[in-house]
Amino acid sequence: MTNTYDAIVIGGGHNGLTTAAYLAKAGRKVLVLERRHLVGGAAVSEQIYPGFTYTVCSYVVSLLRPEVIRDLQLAKHGLHILPLDSAFVPMHDDYFAYWSDPASTREEIRRHAARDADAYSEFNNLMYLIGYAVKPILGMLPPDLTKPTLDDARHLLDLRQHLVGLGEKNFYALYKLMTASVADFVDEWFETDVLKALVSINGIIGTMLGPRSPGTAYVLLHHYMGELDGAFTAWGFQKGGTGGVSNAIASAARSFGAEIRCNAPVSQVIVKGEQAVGVALENGEEIYARTIVSGLDPKLTFLKMLDPKILPTDLVDSIRKFKFRGSSGKVNLALDGLPKFTSMPDPRLLQGMIEICPSMDYVERAYDDAKYGDFSRRPYCDVLIPSMLDPGMAPPGQHVMSVFVQYAPYHLNGGWNPTQREAFGDSVVNAISEFAPNLKDLILHRQVLSPWDLEQEFGLTEGNIFQGELTLDQLFFLRPAPGYARYRTPIRNYYQCGSGTHPGGGITAGPGRLAALEILKDGKQKLYTDFTDKHGWFWIEARWRGSREASGLQGPPTPIEDFESV
Amino acid sequence: MPRQTPFYSRTAALCESQSWLEWSGFFSANQYELTHTHEYYAIRTAAALLDVSPLYKYHIHGRDAQRLLNRVVTRDVNKCVVGQALYTPWCDNEGKVIDDGTIARLDENLFRLTAADSTLRWLEDNALGLDVKVEDVSDALAALALQGPCSRDILSQITNDPLQNLKYYRLTQTTLASIPVTLSRTGFTGDLGYEIWIEPQHAEKVWDALMEVGERYRLRAAGNLALDMARIEAGLLLVAVDFNSSRKVMFDIQKSTPYELGLGWTVKLDKDRFIGQATLKREMQSGPAWATVGLEIQLPGLEAIHREFGMPLQLPDRAWSSVVPVLAGGRQIGKATSGTWSPILKKYIALARVKPSHAKPGTRVWMEVTVEAHRKYAEAVVVKTPFFEPERKRA
């Protein structure tokens, strides 16, 4: 039996599903092939222990692009994001609480240092303004600086316009964010150590760097670019776990006619004469399509799905040097009741984030362990009790706890094995138990995922949750490699759409959407391509106009429109 | 959860409406009865007692206290003698208003600054190199406003000091019912009135003493709704309503200079260097972009608009603070930022920011009103503020 499709998407992660949905919406016949038994990639919810649903890897949502929510009508398909509006940092004799209402937060900061309360609202204003200026990048096609087109020039001009709009003072603050360590950056603002630790956490997540490492301030900014219901920088929790987001996108894709096959691992892309023509499954089956899209990370996309010998040497070199070096792990717990945090002043704080980062030194020390190849003996933990927000995730009175942990270096001294993994799990439970002594007695089941497990089970190279570090040297037109940031590859009809491409990791659906728009553009524009190479910008301009009319997409704005609407 | 002021046991017991507002982290009563009418009339005909403890309060002391304040605010603090208070705004380096408040000179080298927003960091950052200490005494001082024509008589019942000599914007250390307090002749109602600064442990005693002697003068506790009507009548601007703190908003269009707010009289350009001076000097020369004025909405016109819908004239039953467009010749020339029906003036009044070309008293403009969601424009006349200024305020 021979199957042919317009497009095959390798990997049913949320970005692969997004690309599939957009292509299907534009009328393409699309097939998604997922290796595991369920779609979602690193955004999955699973009942590992009966009756308890874990949000297995990713756990919060903020960066999901609003245009994707609109275009794919995700709310209709089950997107249901609950607000996560408090954060609690237990300390040994005290605590810090960030509340949903600004007045309570202000009073809480005043309790620690009155000056910081004044500074905090200004700090938030600054981050808001900079986020507002920089955010359009998330929805924008990275310019190709090796062969800039008129479009690229326009995009860069627009971006420049946006940055100029920041005003001089804020522009310099942006410069600092691009270069400084998050610790230095927050030091300029605050006195309260625990507040600084809490703010700086967003600078290290998913990164093999400590809060005092330069470059981490940018990662902080990345986390300030999210939005929820029009509120900037707000984070939320998908009902039922982040698998619900993937399922919503999958449901949208199916509603447009896309076909999704699970338990269908792809072994290689079939290339004929520098052109991708199909995929070979591990079971030997071959499926053909005009377009092949990989939602896998750059290493798998280029070096596993293809024979590296057919790729340009410099690309292979760039991909080999692309930094993955996973730094985090995940622990999921089924609990027989609620943990009791000794210093928690109000049980409502159990509905929000609980952050094990009592001081800046604590977090930096956690990194010190990892820097030399050990997992943190006292790690930073981003703790959430999802069943407090969605009671359906655990039996009544019982709970699930999601713990994101840093640091757990992929390159562990002696390597990862089941013994090391459980020792790591112990250190996580111990770290939380320091502040919630009854935790250990409540644990019914424990799932520990080291970076090695993330690689084995979820296909994330070196266990990097972002398909490659989110540092400035690996972003925008450098993600994943110079000249290949626009979702295309040297192999004709073979595209990339994973978090390893712009705008990067997190549940953004940004790469998936932008990749789909480029694929559709190419599909309609092939005829022009030879002309444009010969006849310069006039044809490029025509091509751009043509693409807008030809794409037939009602919803998705082109990157330029997107830019103006932000 | 908001905190309770030192008067909470008393205000909570009186607050039948259970209508509270969060004010700087504290519970603050909107109105005590289910209607605020009696409270408003108390301010204008008898006396009203308002808990203003949530105000931010700072003690600035040291050899350079005067220098620091003079550097921060627009008024000339050098001219403020011991026992005097000043109303003043303060600006950022671009001359945009951050906040406003009063400065009271308690001693040669001791001032008390009140502010709507927390100002500690701004004061400290500007105190670098000065011999001065800024102390946040917000929680160390409870504050009451006793406002209204009978306020002096009520106070006289429980103090031995003659209050006739305490002039407008002056203060004195005295005792009320044998409790030491600072008494200043200040307030936010534009009426005869006083503010009382008390150590929190004595707060309830002073409240009780005032309420007890006030009984005969029909004194009553008043909340934010009544105060809001009174302060509009007095032409007093409210931060975050009539203007925004430049530290709180992010975009230039949301910020204002003192000149634009009609506070030009508080800007002493010739005094020593102060924050925002250079830009304000330039603005003084070029003229501000906006003027703050009073509007009297003309009732015949408003009535006619209602008649179109078969309705009699409807007037707001409380002060509003939604920003509405103001037009002239069919084009927008400004916005009204708050307004109220003034029962005492029998006028519908509003505070507005308009283009200077339309700021002359007597100018006719049109303010947007909606009648059952139909957008209409009511004729209004530009007037000077305050709308209401009884002689007793200063007498």
Strand segments (E) across A336-413: 353-356, 380-384, 399-406
Phi and psi torsions of B147, nearest 5°: -130, 140
* Minimal-distance CA residue of chain B relative to A132: B250
Mark whether B45 and B172 lie in a shared domain.
Answer: yes
Contacts of B18 (CB under 8 A, 6+ apart): none
The minimum CA-CA distance between A289 and chain B, rounded to whole Å, is: 51
Edge-to-edge strands, sheet with B97-107:
B85-91, B97-107, B110-115, B56-61, B133-136
What is the structure's pLDDT at A556?
A: 35
Strand segments (E) across A283-412: 286-294, 328-335, 353-356, 380-384, 399-406
Contact flag B25-A104 (C-beta cutoff 8 Å): yes
Contacts of B23 (CB under 8 A, 6+ apart): B54, B224
Mark whether B153 and B27 lie in a shared domain.
Answer: yes
Mark whether B383 and B300 lie in a shared domain.
Answer: yes
Q: Is residue B265 part of a domain?
A: no
Which residue of B25, B119, B248 is in closest CB contact with A121?
B248
SS3 content of chain B, % helix, strand, coil (to 5): 25, 35, 40
Task: Report the relative pairing of strands A45-49 and A30-33 from DSSP bridges.
Answer: unpaired
Contact flag A103-B2 (C-beta cutoff 8 Å): yes
CA A497 from centre of chain: 13
Phi and psi torsions of A186, nearest 5°: -75, -25
Low-confidence ranges of chain B (pLDDT < 70): none
How far apart are alpha carbons A486 and B379 in whole angstroms?
58
Count CB-CB contacts under 10 A for residue B216: 11
How far apart are alpha carbons A71 and A509 in whole angstroms?
12
CATH number of the domain where residue B368 is located: 2.40.30.110
Contacting residues of B for A128, CB less than 8 Å apart:
250
Q: Mind listing the pLDDT tens digit for each residue in B318-345?
A: 999 999 999 999 999 999 999 999 999 9
Contact flag A115-B120 (C-beta cutoff 8 Å): yes
How far apart are alpha carbons A189 and A184 in whole angstroms?
9
Final residue of a structural domain among B222, B240, B257: B222
Q: CA neighbours within 13 Å on the CB side: how many for B367?
A: 29
User: What ipTM does the predicted assembly reach?
Assistant: 0.81
Phi and psi torsions of B98, nearest 5°: -90, -45
Q: Is some CB atom of chain A closer than 8 A to the CB atom of B124?
A: yes
Mark whether B25 and B146 lie in a shared domain.
Answer: yes
More confident residue, A535 or A445: A445
Which residue of B2, B121, B250 is in closest CB contact with A118?
B121
Q: Is some CB atom of chain A closer than 8 A to the CB atom of B22?
A: yes
Q: Is residue B17 part of a domain?
A: yes
Mark whether B28 and B162 lie in a shared domain.
Answer: yes
Q: What is the DSSP letter of A123?
A: H
List residues of chain A with CB under 8 Å from any CB of chain B: 101, 103-104, 106-107, 110, 114-115, 117-119, 121-122, 125, 128-129
The minimum CA-CA distance between B310 and chain A, rounded to whole Å, is: 40
The minimum CA-CA distance between B124 and chain A, rounded to whole Å, is: 9
Contacting residues of A for B118, CB less than 8 Å apart:
106, 110, 114, 117-118
The minimum CA-CA distance between B249 and chain A, rounded to whole Å, is: 7
Contacting residues of A for B121, CB less than 8 Å apart:
114-115, 118-119
Strand partners, A503: none
Final residue of a structural domain among B222, B237, B254: B222
Q: Is residue B279 part of a domain?
A: no
Q: CA neighbours within 13 Å on the CB side: how many for B251?
A: 6
Lowest mean pLDDT segment, chosen from A200-214, A404-418, B222-236? A200-214
DSSP letters along B137-188, please? Answer: -TTT-EEEEEESTTHHHHHHHH-SS-STT--TTBEEEEEETTEEEEEES--S
Strand partners, B383: B294
* Region label for B122, one of left (φ > 0), alpha (ψ between -120 and 50) or beta (otherwise): alpha
Q: Mind listing the pLDDT tens digit for each residue in A119-164?
A: 998 898 888 888 888 877 877 888 877 777 888 888 788 778 877 7
Q: Is residue B117 part of a domain?
A: no
Phi and psi torsions of B368, nearest 5°: -65, 130
Residue of B121, B134, B245, B247 to mutate, interface with A, max A Cβ within 10 Å: B121
Q: Closest Cα to residue A495, out of A475, A459, A521?
A: A521
Residue with tokens 């998936």: A512
Mark whether B295 and B217 lie in a shared domain.
Answer: no
Q: Mind listing the pLDDT tens digit for each residue in A268-313?
A: 999 998 899 999 999 999 999 999 999 999 999 999 999 999 999 9
Classify domain A4-42+66-79+239-322+480-523 at the CATH class level: alpha beta
Q: Mind listing the pLDDT tens digit for each residue in A509-550?
A: 999 999 999 999 998 754 444 344 444 444 444 444 444 444
How far apart are alpha carbons A519 and A121 in whole angstroms?
43
Cβ-based burial of B376 (10 A; exposed 0-12, middle 13-18, buried ≥19): middle
Q: Closest Cα to residue B41, out of B226, B247, B248?
A: B226
Contact flag A118-B118 (C-beta cutoff 8 Å): yes
What is the structure's pLDDT at A290?
A: 95
Q: CA neighbours within 13 Å on the CB side: how many for B259?
A: 20
Q: Mind listing the pLDDT tens digit for each residue in A161-173?
A: 877 777 788 888 8
CATH number of the domain where residue B182 is located: 3.30.1360.120
Q: Is residue B250 part of a domain?
A: no
Contacting residues of A for B249, CB less than 8 Å apart:
125
Contact flag B3-A104 (C-beta cutoff 8 Å): no
Contacts of A95 (CB under 8 A, 6+ apart): A88, A89, A341, A343, A344, A345
CA distances, A293 to each of A199, A296, A313, B376 (Å):
37, 9, 22, 57
Q: Is some CB atom of chain A closer than 8 A to the CB atom of B119?
A: yes
Which residue of A103, A110, A118 is in closest CB contact with B122?
A118
Mark whether B333 and B210 lie in a shared domain.
Answer: no
Q: Is some CB atom of chain A closer than 8 A to the CB atom of B184?
A: no
Q: Is residue B71 part of a domain?
A: no
Query: Is residue A86 within 8 Å of A105, Cβ to Cβ?
Result: no
Final residue of a structural domain among B170, B202, B222: B222
Query: Is residue A353 within 8 Å of A382, Cβ to Cβ?
Result: yes
How far apart are alpha carbons A305 and B261 in whole angstroms?
67
pLDDT at residue A437 greater than cutoff 80: yes
How far apart are alpha carbons B363 and A22 in whole angstroms?
58
Mark whether B295 and B204 lie in a shared domain.
Answer: no
Amino acid identity, position B197: W
Contact flag B247-A107 (C-beta cutoff 8 Å): no
Tokens of A211: 């809060």
Output the average pLDDT for chain A: 89
Contacting residues of A for B122, CB less than 8 Å apart:
118
Q: Which CATH architecture has domain A324-463?
A: Alpha-Beta Complex (3.90)
Mark whether B174 and B321 lie in a shared domain.
Answer: no
Residue A387: which pLDDT band, with cuts at 50, 70 and 90? Answer: very high
Q: How many domains does chain B have?
A: 2
Domain locations in chain A?
4-42+66-79+239-322+480-523, 100-228, 324-463
Query: Is residue B148 within 8 Å of B72, Cβ to Cβ?
Result: no
Helices (H) and strands (E) in chain A, counts: 19, 20
Confidence (pTM): 0.86
pLDDT at residue A552 greater than cutoff 80: no
Q: Is residue B161 part of a domain?
A: yes
Query: Is residue A478 within 8 Å of A457, Cβ to Cβ?
Result: no
The minimum CA-CA distance between A124 and chain B, rounded to whole Å, is: 10
Containing domain of residue B145, as a range?
A: 8-55+139-222
Contacting residues of B for A122, CB less than 8 Å apart:
247
Q: Is residue B114 part of a domain?
A: no
The B residues from 89 to 118 touching A (CB cutoff 8 Å) are: 118
Contacting residues of A for B136, CB less than 8 Å apart:
114
Interface size A-B, in CB pairs within 8 Å, comes to 37
* Minimal-distance CA residue of chain A relative to B135: A114
